[in-house]
Amino acid sequence: MELTFLGTGAGMPSNQRNVTSIALRLLGDRGAVWMFDCGEGTQHQYMRASLKLSKLERIFITHLHGDHLFGLPGLLTSRAHQGVLTPLTVFGPQGVKSYIDSALMASQSHLEYKLEVVEFDGTSSPNELLSIYEDDDYRIYAALLEHRIDSYGYRVEEKDKPGKLAYRKLAKLGIPSGPEFGQLKQGNNVTLSDGTTLIAADFIGDSVPGRIVTILGDTRACMNINKLAVKADVLVHEATFSRDLQHLAYDYHHSTTDDAARAGVEGGVLALIITHISPRYQIDSTELLLREVQETFANSYVASDFWTYMIHRKNNLSPIVKEN
């Protein structure tokens, strides 16, 4: 997995940061891109990051404020103009479908690919995680945060990978490669022609734990953050303000560096990345924000546009960070 930050600013674009959008690349055979939020100008950022619209499978919108949403119509229509025919699904709070429909209708835009919009509403169960998507490899949950409008965080859980088959152990028993191997790989016990029963668990190594990525929308500190973030490999948390502006953050339903750092500690996450930075903090102020968050949570980073963070499996080496 690889996170690329397409926009890391709050409220409005600046000459140093575009507004919010994050691309999660699912590396390997799948090669898909999942996007989280789509602020104004995201399609330009997406192209500059050398990402392909044909690989974009799903978009997850955290809430309906413009700095998280206004880039969506342009990106959807650009995908059509490129001749992409593979389906795309947009997930988000109630209202995202009417926004998309209105923009496409008013501009008389036509999409040749299938667009599905999945809306959810967590207000009836505000303290619960909502299961919004599952396939063979991933589960996605959403939970309501605390903001001026309904805002959500997402938890992406990669399913555990089965352990490797002990080929050498089977060879030592004189068992040749064949259909029995496939059965054992699937966890099924196998009875041989001589009556010997092979117990699948004896020939399969430990499973490889899946990775967990938590990405939050705009929020004050709240209990659902802990539920979304628990034991995550990486938590992406907004930190619109530095710690000295805690009163301002609270009044505007946002978070500070201290709020984000506490969430990392309480969630037991492996790494914390702060984003959604107020325009009052230029790039030369990044060291201040980083210093504040690292005082509480050492393995922290401040995202910048086009900054990339690699998320390795837990049994691999430490995460790799690179600048584009």
Model confidence at 218: pLDDT above 70: yes
pLDDT at residue 323, as a whole number:
43
Q: What is the pLDDT of residues 258-316, one digit of tens each?
A: 999 999 999 999 999 999 999 999 888 889 999 999 999 999 999 999 999 999 987 64
Domain with CATH 3.60.15.10 in the chain: 2-161+209-310
CATH number for region 2-161+209-310: 3.60.15.10
The 3-state secondary structure of 7-73 reads ECECCCCCCCCCECEEEEEECCCCCEEEEECCCCCHHHHHHHCCCCHHHEEEEECCCCCHHHCCCHH
* Catalytic position from the list 37, 67, 233, 305: 67
pLDDT at residue 315, as a whole number:
61
Amino acid at 75: L
Q: Burial level of 142, CB count in 10 A (0-12/13-18/19+)?
A: buried
Strand 115-120 to strand 88-93: parallel, antiparallel, or no bridges (unpaired)? parallel
Cα gap 44→167, rounded to integer Å: 49
At a CB cut-off of 8 Å and minimum separation 6, what does 228 contact? 129, 141, 143, 153, 154, 155, 214, 216, 267
> What is the band of 189 on the pLDDT scale with cuts at 50, 70, 90?
confident
Model confidence at 320: pLDDT above 70: no
Contact 124, 150 (CB under 8 A): no
Q: What is the pLDDT of residues 106-126, one digit of tens each?
A: 999 999 999 999 999 999 999
> What is the band of 317 on the pLDDT scale with cuts at 50, 70, 90?
very low
Model confidence at 185: pLDDT above 60: yes
Lowest mean pLDDT among 155-159, 203-207, 289-293: 203-207
Lowest mean pLDDT among 101-105, 166-170, 207-211, 320-324: 320-324
For residue 305, indicate whether it is catalytic.
no
Model confidence at 30: pLDDT above 80: no
Cα gap 262→264, rounded to integer Å: 5
Amino acid at 312: H
Taking CA atoms, 314 is separated from 207, 244, 248, in Å, by: 11, 36, 38
Task: For residues 167-190, give the mean pLDDT.
Answer: 79
pLDDT at residue 165, as a whole number:
81
